[in-house]
Chains A and B, each alone.
Chain A
Amino acid sequence: MPFSLLKYGLSSEYPAEVDLPAPKELKDSYDVVIIGGGGHGLATAYYLAKYHGVTNVAVLEKAYLGGGNTARNTAVIRSNYLTSEGVRFYTESVKLFKALSNEFDFNIMYSERGQLTLAHTDATVRAFRQRAEVNKHFGGRTEMIDRQQIRELVPTLNLDPGHLPVLAGLWHIDGATARHDAVAWGYAKQAAKRGVEIHQLTEVQDFVVEHGRVTAVKTNRGTVKCGCAVQAIAGYSSLLMNKLGIRAPIHSYPLQAMVTQPFKPFLDPLVSSSALHCYVQQTGRGEVVIGGGSDPYPLYNTRSTLELKEGLLAHAIEMFPFLANAKLMRQWAGITDMTPDYSPIMGLSPLENYYLDAGWGTWGFKATPICGKTMAELVASGGKVPELIRPFALERFSRFRQVNEMGATAASH
């Protein structure tokens, strides 16, 4: 029993440390208004306060804290992308993740399980080799492994599913998972400690724009003036941008996932196959999380469907036949803002003091720390874009400078 728990048992009064402060009135004005109280918005607020001394900040969340895609994603952390820009960015994120529990004084249960992606075609083998090489180039731990090595790593995996025998695997040792909610709470707790205000049930519905600047946001609780504003929402990114007349190359698709009842541990790594459109991992609680690609049509609705579940589970059983007898407990969905190149949109907007953190598709959670850190830098500097996120500017689409991560995203998230 760790000592840190002794106080709970030995105190006569329960030492209820406040993680998330109680609601209070909105002020008239803030230096920075962050729209969206998910991981990204809260991280931005935290790093603004921590590194830049900017604390007159309000995070406005339309529902409850971390209740959007922060709550709905399947908590994959990895950096084995394809482009130099992508790998550099996500590698920094992984580094920050590793230290978060101690930085927060709040256990996010960062668990380095490793991520195994399966290749069933020689085209995938080629792409994997390139990803492994790019990763190694930037100091990541990623290897191509053969069938025998896969068998040793995940003895329960069926290496000959359907007509798609596994040819090789991409073994990403840095692949990890963490308790996604805790990441949001940890940021909220530490941001609030530094004076950031977090307002839940506060929806930004419109803006006041004067001379090319956002001077205030209109919410369901009244209008709030701001020195600048950061958009850090998911699922409806393009709709919010539209309110400011910004066109975004984003299409929003539902993404579904599901979880079984808890079982005793049998699987350590995160295993995914893009040919089978399926990934499988076992959480610390023992539940098996199963997910795949987005729904095939754009929609603003987080309903679950039977069709997707049928296809996904058929493939999960092909990968792990014994899961046929496991029982599914819950199915849910989130809305993913997909960009044409499967990379995010970060940085400046056509409005002088409005900053974008959008288009996170299925890869937002793993970027939470580095995204918050670089966005904070951007905001604090008054619009000087950090080198790490420069490739992800909105204008890349009109300048034909996309950062193509299509092949490295798919069902792996």
Chain B
Amino acid sequence: MTAFNRLPAPMGLLIDRDRPLAFSFDGKAYQGLQGDSIASALLANGRWLMSRSFKYHRPRGPLSLAGQDANTLVQLPDEPNALADMQALAEGLEVGGQNFAGSLDSDRDALLGHFSRFMPVGFYYRSFYKPQGIWKVWEPIIRKKAGLGVLNLKFQPEYHDKAFLFVDVAVVGAGPAGLSAALHAANTGAKVLLVEQQPYLGGALAWARFDLEGVRAGALRERLVEAVEQHPNIRILKEATCNAWFVDNFLPVIQGTRLYKVRARECIVATGAFDQPVVFRNNDLPGIMLTSAAQRLMKLYAVKPGNRAVVLTGNDDGYLAALDLHEAGVAVAAVIDLRDAPADGLLVTALQTRGIPHLPGHTVYEALHAKGMRHVSGVDVRRIVGEGQVASDAQRIDCDLLCMSAGYMPVYQLLCQAGGKLAYDDDQAAFSLSGLPRRLDVAGSVNGRYALDNVLLDGARAAGGATGRLGLGGSAEAIFAAEPRVNFDWPIFPHPDGKDFVDFDEDLQVRDIVNATRHGYRDVQLVKRFSTVGMGPSQGRHSALPTARLVARATGRSVSETGVTTARPPFVAEKLAHVAGRGFDPYRQTPMHQRHLEAGAKMMPAGVWQRPAYYGKAEERERCMQEEALHVRQKVGLIDVSTLGGLDVRGPDAAELLERLYTFAFAKQPVGRSRYALMTNEHGVVIDDGVCARFAPNHFYVTATTSGVDRLYQQMLKWNAQWRLDVDVTNVTAALAAVNLAGPDSRKVLQTLCNDLDLSAEAFPYLGVRQGTVVGIPARLLRVGFVGELGYEIHVPARYGEALWDALMAAGRAFDIRPFGVESQRLLRLEKGHVIIGQDTDGMTHPAEIDMGWAIARSKPFFVGKRSVQILEAQPLARKLVGFSLPKGASKPLEGHLVLDGDAISGSVTSCEYSRTLERIIGLAYVGSGQSAPGSHIPIRVEGGEVVQATVVELPFFDPHNQRQEL
């Protein structure tokens, strides 16, 4: 265990020195403090190496310490690719390294770094494919090397939820600009949501230095944070990430295990700016970090980042950071300024009084290290003699910490998702944003304001604009003081030996970017796709700017013309669980569901419904189905048809609506009768069928297929509105329970329960419909013939479904009634040659193909699809649905098996089953037009490739004159 090594207070804003936490990293035990991140705790223990790079397996340590780089990706037991600098430390946490061979400290794959010359940009496009097929051998090897962490394949999802927030103004980022904006907006009475990614408010005020004395930030932060925290109009979400911007300020904010879906009338993005690395050889060694990272480490975690530091800077902020380091007891070996002089001359004096060497107009040309590359040990410093060029005479400075910052890149991701455009300003050597949508504004350094007074004013300005638009008063007028530029325009110093990294995630060096353009990938998007720059876990946060500069120069264009690649959601990588949250899979049961389970039904899904397939065990399917079917033919059976779609169509134009929607005629349909109803779409394709029962001149009860009813209901509403008919349509599918009581004895069963209706064939004939009661339950009764037997569909209010079922089963006992399922019903209707829409039809079937010409009222002026049906009927039929049969004992075709015509496929089997009633195999199949005549032999290729010769037969297979259903 390493000695306890922390700077004294007031350093350590986030840590609780009285609460030590034990944890392990890569198998070794360490101690940290409550409030530490994994990374800060490891650094406090002197442990810098946290990961291995993607390609060359170079040792890597923290770069941004703000969750903005891939250098701190570690493996947690259930979570790969966790950000060690964002993940809070917890007692007993087991942390591991990832993506190494052997151990993190001595990774055998680090050898790959020596072969980098043989792995030029996009090397995998140039190799591994000769001879043909060899990629199959290489791919698994390369795949194993690629990838970062390991997913725990046994992991089960944990609880996550969602909440909605509606606010006047959402402010993203609680740095000085965000705090200022939130306060100003809240003071006008606006309801404000302030979202901060870090566990503290104040942003850079909490760790950066804004003046020589180092007093301003702390005092300002205290004042602003107190005001914000006590403001009744401000709701604060800390450790919360606004992870995208969706149209109309729809903001997903992730906090803990919750995803807030925020609707904001106004949104102010104050996300700040990222420090930008300087590109030189070995700029990725552990011990080299962004200047802001070193400051965060000291101020937030009280960890001393090193003993002897070099600060490499492109703006004045590096000088102030050097003063911070000096005060924390770090010997500052040099402040190296890429520029010839700081903007503020007093800074030089400040260095001199502290004895800190100052090297203006210089750069680090190479970072040095001892064997093993475990940590930076010094720097090779040279004078800058031109853009990216250095003098040949070098001086070496020993150090164990190198802080670098070439300037800033606005955190533009959310804004680009909102359609903002980036333009490069050559004067400032920085990107600026324009073209934002209404009600979205920016403030602070993301808006190019860096001087503290300007930043505060910019927050107030953005708030004023927002509250002005909200009608709460305020304006976006503001006058800003001039600012020195913060970006050095060419912080890229290529080295002949490379390892001058532009993209740390993907191990891309200067030459890789330049060579990509030499291969012809000149557009920055193509550079990205070819080289993979910006495609790693940090999504180009540090590589976008140098890449744009390099590509611009290599292709002779301006940086503005070159641009950067598109920023897409999410802002930071988000767990699938956060977004997915709760799934919604509707699942419906009929009112008689329990009765089916009690009777031992094997249930099957039918759309969103569960229905009994048959009553018995899965392995007894064939026997159960056959017995149930036979029972309906010989005695009486009962099936739950509640899932059948039901629509009440009422109004003076009810018949007119059906006339136009369905192919048949309904205007003159008598009350008390039902009619088959077939529906086609505009293409003449059969899409649904059912029965229209007329209970009154202005009232039809229309049934539809289980899966089609919702779409049909939508269609009815749409057409009703479009045609301006006087009709009211209600979807009563779930309001009614229904059964079909079928079989020769069905009338006898029903008679015992029904005393207000004359059930005789004369009084209530086939296709008749009646309203009455069954055991006192108000019911709609329909005589229909789907299974081809005497039968009654009985529709009752859903709450009586179970009572109806029980009554029918009890009354039927004397007649040996038994329930039957969907599979048995399918067999029964197949024996009758009835098609099931969706099973025996597909997305192209038109009425003539399934012999439904009889269901079309041709004299009608219009129905949906009429014109198409006419055209199709005038064409020769390309295929036709026919009945076929095979002798008992033949190989039974399965649904989906092909019908052949010579070498060609002429059709397929849509329904097929053995019928015990008929004692042969029967089925429906599409066949070629030349194969459809009864008596034709059609070859069907069945399982195993065998071809059976089936015979086309007339439909129906059973009871050809349909006498049984009309009894």
A residues near B (Cβ < 8 Å) are 1-2, 4-6, 8-9, 14, 16-23, 64-67, 71, 84, 98-99, 101-102, 106-107, 109-112, 120-123, 125-134, 137, 156, 162-164, 179, 181-182, 185, 200, 260-266, 284-286, 303-306, 309-310, 313-318, 321-332, 340-341, 400, 402, 404, 406-407
Contact = CB atoms under 8 A, between A and B. Distances in A.
Given A8-B118, A181-B530, A101 B605 contact: no
Given A264-B144, A404-B842, 13 more contacts: A8-B117, A20-B522, A64-B526, A67-B526, A107-B127, A163-B605, A163-B610, A284-B139, A314-B580, A317-B576, A322-B154, A326-B80, A326-B576
Nearest to B874: A400
Interface in B96-153: 115, 117-120, 123-133, 135-136, 139-140, 142-144, 146-153
Closest 7 CB pairs of A and B: A286-B147, A129-B896, A20-B520, A327-B573, A9-B117, A314-B583, A324-B157
B839 interface: yes
Given A126-B839, A314-B580, A330 B568 contact: yes
B908 interface: yes
B582 interface: yes
A404 B523 contact: no
A22 B910 CA distance: 57
A322 B117 contact: no
Contacts of B54: 262
Contacts of B582: 314
A284 B532 CA distance: 13
A59 to B, nearest CB: 14
Contact of B579 (A66, A120, A309): A309
A341 B117 contact: no
B684 A130 contact: no
Q: Is the interface of B mostly helix, strand, loop or mixed?
A: loop
B244 A306 contact: yes
B521 A262 contact: no
Contact of A317 (B118, B125, B146, B577): B577
A284 B895 contact: no
Contacts of A9: 115, 117-118
Contact of B135 (A16, A109, A130, A309): A109
12 contacts: A5-B119, A84-B905, A264-B80, A286-B143, A306-B250, A306-B252, A318-B583, A322-B151, A322-B153, A328-B574, A329-B539, A340-B683
Given A9-B115, A101-B129, A266 B148 contact: no
In this complex, the member of A17, A123, A341, A400 whose beta carbon has the largest number of chain B beta carbons within 10 angstroms is A400
A120 B127 contact: no
B672 interface: no
B565 to A, nearest CB: 11
A71 to B, nearest CB: 7
Given A310-B580, A325-B79, A266 B153 contact: yes
A337 to B, nearest CB: 18
Contacts of A71: 525, 529
A323 B573 CA distance: 13
In this complex, the member of B132, B529, B532 whose beta carbon has the largest number of chain A beta carbons within 10 angstroms is B529
Contacts of A64: 523, 525-526
B119 A304 contact: no
Contacts of B158: 324
Interface stretch (B39-47, B220-228, B511-519, B931-939): B511-519
A64 B659 CA distance: 54
A318 B156 CA distance: 10
A2 B147 contact: no
Interface string B28-63: 000000000000000000000000001000000000
A102 B529 contact: no
B395 to A, nearest CB: 29
A327 B713 CA distance: 40
B166 interface: no
B436 to A, nearest CB: 15
A315 B583 contact: yes
A328 B605 CA distance: 32
B896 A8 contact: no
B81 interface: yes
Contacts of A286: 143, 146-148
B537 interface: yes
Nearest to B868: A400
B143 A19 contact: no
A310 B579 contact: yes
A133 B941 contact: yes
Contacts of A200: 523
Given A129-B896, A306-B252, A329-B539, A263 B568 contact: no
A317 B573 contact: no
Contacts of A325: 78-80, 151-152, 155, 575-577
B580 A326 contact: no
Contacts of A109: 124, 135, 139
A20 B539 contact: no
B163 interface: no
In this complex, the member of A163, A266, A310, A318 whose beta carbon has the largest number of chain B beta carbons within 10 angstroms is A310
Contacts of A126: 839, 895-896, 910
